Chains A and B, each alone.
Chain A
Amino acid sequence: MSAPLLEMRHIDKSFYGVKVLDDVSIDLFAGETVALLGENGAGKSTLIKILNGDYTRDSGDVMLDGQPVHFAEPRDAEAAGIRMIYQELHYAPELSVAENLLLGRLPHRQGAFGWMVDWNATREKAREALKLLNVDIDPMTKMRDLSVVEREIIEIVKALSRKARIIVMDEPTAALTPPEVQRLFGIIRDLCKQGIGIIYISHRLDEVFQIAHRVTVLRDGKHVGTHPIAEVTHKALVKMMVGRDIEERAEVRKNAAAIQLGEVVLDVEKLSKQGAFEDISLQVRAGEIVGLFGLLGAGHNILTQTIFGVEKADSGQVRIGGQVVQIASPQDAKRAGIGFVPLDRKVNGLVMGMSVRKNITLSNWRTLAPLGIFSQGKEMQNTHHWVDQLGIRMAGGVETHTRYLSGGNQQKVVLARWLEANVRVLLLNEPTWGVDVGARSDIYDQLEALAAKGLAILMVSSDIEEVLTVSHRILTIYKGRLTGEFMQGDATQEKLLHTAAGGVS
């Protein structure tokens, strides 16, 4: 076999004496997709940033086509044909696709009008670039009018339009629906056929099995192993990433079969909102976890927002513990005993520049500050109680700003806040987006423990594995209407996908 396209060998990197990469090696051949796996903090981003010239390595070699290279800054890596596609896309939403594709190098007119942009040429160039991937998008569409997957595709087109050899994708499917993921995978396979090497970072193992040829796993800054995908199992990968066996959910489930359900706590009756959902009736009992599964945009996210008072319903009513409650704002919802874990915890869930302690106690001043003045000792005590109970891990203690926590720990802080506020109903929106395998399993355990203590949980998710794993009962929603109901034992992926796509159950 010829020399690999890329080789990174024995890479070391420390920050302030703390080793974040310890003798890590990875290689990539032309036309191949290598999945880079590891929990948050395992060193994936550091490794990628070294490849990209963002960080300099302490020791080790980076070789392209067998030749040692040194990238002092991202520009050097780009010149060598290395392209990054980050999780958070960077684009100008008000500009057209063509302008975004050619940003900084728009073609200009000839002659006396050389200072003017040649819009015809811009359009043509953009169209040619889009043809590389057979994408049918009008180059004059504004970026913000595209769907998320389309924006991502534009980002890939942008990467390709400047002679890419290696493309690094960091969780490219985080915001995509299953059909969109398949569309992206089609494109990745095309890229491989063109001889491009792809490093694919994802937390979703099922995707890795679909798209990767080989997989490299990092844990705590060390290289755990590299294997052809055909030679590893799902379970083995998880063990490599987490460093321990994660109990199979099915086992846990069997034990939980005898769950005691209490009274109906959340009772939604004929709730409708124009253009979002219609005639939704559902009940959640104390001790029950109800999963609401739908594809993105099916209306389930707006439904929970409406129950929580963020959006207004047009008709219908909500009862909590048998009492009709009027919820016009999140304050009303909180007063009624409802907690809400929003979709985007970074923007909506947490105050990132505030400490873990302050975020946890943000919603509970009824008992912590009855006269408006905080009881400091009690606040500390309660904070530590939840940190221990939920296993929230952070480097600098409870005064660490939530910004510096991993996704899973951030989510636990949001959970802790509502538990601290002593709610009876918990609404969760996509609770494990961007959360790694170990922490995900932790959160599932917590949800079960909370339900066992009598909390009524309604979990909205577009992740079918998650819904199947956690819920006692599953509802499916399609275009704003409930289309199916399954008990835990009867639900299968096929049935859920069928009804969530509008099929009759």
Chain B
Amino acid sequence: MQNTATAAPSRGMMPQLGRWLRGERLTTLNLFVTFVIICIIFASQAQFFLTLENFVNIGRTLGVVGIVSIGMTLVLITGGVDISVGSVAALSSVVASILWLQADVPLFLATVIGLLACTFVGFLNGYLIAVVRINPLITTLASFSIVRGLAFVLSNGQTNQLNDEAFKFLGRGEIAGFPVSLLLMIALYILFFFIMHFTQFGRNLYAIGGSPDASRLAGIAVRRHLLIVYTLSGFLAGLAGIIIASQLASSAPRAATGLEFTVIAAVVLGGTSLSGGKGSLIGTLVGVFILRVLDNGLVQTRVSSFYQDVVSGAVLLLAVGFDQLRLRLTSTFGGKS
């Protein structure tokens, strides 16, 4: 049974936030419980785990997956998927390093061009999906392969040094003790949380994912929205690629291999539905955090790295499976007459 919501008109953002929390509460609660259980297990096994220092370490690893997950959340909410993100992430730094090292383009400008290249790839994905109407999985599977190939072609398969202090600041620098990449990620989450919950654009993305036909007949420019979303996803993946290159002080064509799976896992773990129309950035953030904590904890407890992927997969199944079970229970016992 649903709560009887208040009929009085409520104003401002706080009631909106309250409603949002009510709707997503159970999913978020599941995640939180999962998170606490994981922490307890690790804390009992490794002394260093529950220290501030360790959590700063974890914070350093959040940025890349966190930023790409924003784009992926938006894409999944529209009912699509983008599996080209790992390849696109590799492309940005490869383009930047080639321009800088071989064409003497200033590194800042080279980086911007690298980002533009990724944005363009995202735009092409969007064009093929929204206008030519090729299935998103097929489209981005193709660009996943093409873009990775291009990264190898452009770099000739070589890893290039990117030894520049200003460049390294993005990935390694700190402001007031916080990693720059983490701060950037948080800023982006705040921005996109606002967009998704308080703007027409965000509202429309949910509508499109919920029912593309009804959205079109309601006068929403469905194609334009999809185009923007995939373009954003490309841009954010490119940005993550720059952060990776900055952390490693080098660009490699095989960078960010498998990133798409980590990202999709984090987003789905955060309660976003693969069938579209449902999901939230807060959930995604928690999902990213859980996966990162899991990685860190497994290293701390000296679990063989071979097992780490097994555990990540199992946690994903458990969390999502539990959610399905809950849904089934509510629909069986709370069904309409």
Contact = CB atoms under 8 A, between A and B. Distances in A.
- Does chain A bind chain B? yes
Given A331-B221, A335-B219, A350-B214, 18 more contacts: A41-B336, A41-B337, A330-B218, A330-B219, A333-B219, A351-B206, A351-B214, A353-B277, A358-B206, A362-B203, A369-B199, A373-B198, A374-B198, A374-B203, A376-B16, A377-B11, A380-B11, A396-B3
Interface stretch (A158-166, A183-191, A398-406, A459-467): A398-406
Contacts of B6: 397
A342 interface: yes
B5 to A, nearest CB: 3
A115 interface: no
Contacts of B336: 41, 404
B337 A20 contact: yes
B12 A377 contact: yes
A424 interface: no
B7 A421 contact: no
A349 B12 contact: no
B218 A354 contact: no
Interface in A312-352: 329-331, 333-335, 340, 342, 347-352
A347 B210 CA distance: 10
Interface of B: 1-7, 9-13, 15-16, 19, 23, 198-201, 203-204, 206-207, 210-211, 213-221, 277-278, 333-337
Given A342-B217, A365-B200, A380-B9, A16 B1 contact: yes
Contacts of B213: 347-348
B337 A399 contact: no
Interface string A202-233: 00000000000000000001000000000000
B217 A330 contact: yes
Given A310-B217, A380-B11, A398 B5 contact: yes
Given A41-B337, A358-B207, A372-B199, A396 B218 contact: no
Interface residues of A, number: 52
A46 B11 contact: no
Contact of B337 (A43, A310, A334, A384): A43
Given A330-B217, A372-B200, A15 B337 contact: yes
A120 B210 CA distance: 45
A45 interface: yes
9 contacts: A45-B337, A347-B213, A351-B207, A351-B211, A353-B277, A362-B203, A395-B4, A396-B5, A400-B2
A84 B172 CA distance: 66
A2 interface: no
B1 A349 contact: no
B307 to A, nearest CB: 38
B9 A417 contact: no
Nearest to A45: B337
B218 A363 contact: yes
A230 to B, nearest CB: 31
Nearest to A310: B217
- The list of the 4 closest CB pairs from A to B, nearest first, reads A397-B5, A334-B219, A20-B337, A396-B2
Contacts of A421: 219
Contact of B207 (A340, A362, A395): A362
A504 interface: no
B1 A373 contact: no
A25 B19 CA distance: 42
Most chain B CB neighbours (cut-off 10 Å) among A340, A349, A362, A368: A362
A18 interface: yes
Given A376-B16, A377-B9, A399-B19, A351 B217 contact: no
A41 B335 CA distance: 12
Contacts of A41: 336-337
